[in-house]
Amino acid sequence: MAMSAKEIETLIKDALPDATVEIQDLAGDGDHYAAVVVSKEFEGKSRVQQHQMVYKALRGQMGGALHALALQTSAPNA
């Protein structure tokens, strides 16, 4: 039931086309990832809202097929 890093990246970019997405497979098991997502869409949003946008992009996989995704989000530096 694991997801590949590529699948995660694709889902995020579908929802946030301008995003730069860096994904690290933490344990090498296709189940524990860390992602850094930078997107202009995050401007003016709280961290909670930014993470919610990414979770939405993952369409309910978070907490399901995707067991652990450590998230770090930000808007591009001005």
Partner 1 sequence: MSEPEVFSAIRSDIENNDVVLFMKGTPVFPQCGFSNTVVQVLTYLGVPFKGVNVLETDELRHGIKEFSDWPTIPQLYVKGEFVGGCDIIREMFENGELREYLAAKGIEAEPAQQ
Positions touching partner 1 (CB under 8 A) are: 47-48, 51-52, 55, 60, 62-63, 68, 70-72
Residues in the chain, total: 78
Residue 23 or residue 51: which is nearer to partner 1 going by CB?
Answer: 51
Please state the φ and ψ torsions of residue 62, each to the nearest 5 degrees. Answer: -65, 130
Angle, helix 5-15 to helix 47-57, in steps of 10 degrees:
110
Residue 40 or residue 56: which is nearer to partner 1 going by CB?
Answer: 56
| Least Å from the CB of residue 74 to partner 1 | 10
The count of other CB atoms within 10 Å of the CB of residue 19 is 21
Residue 16 or residue 35: which is nearer to partner 1 going by CB?
Answer: 35
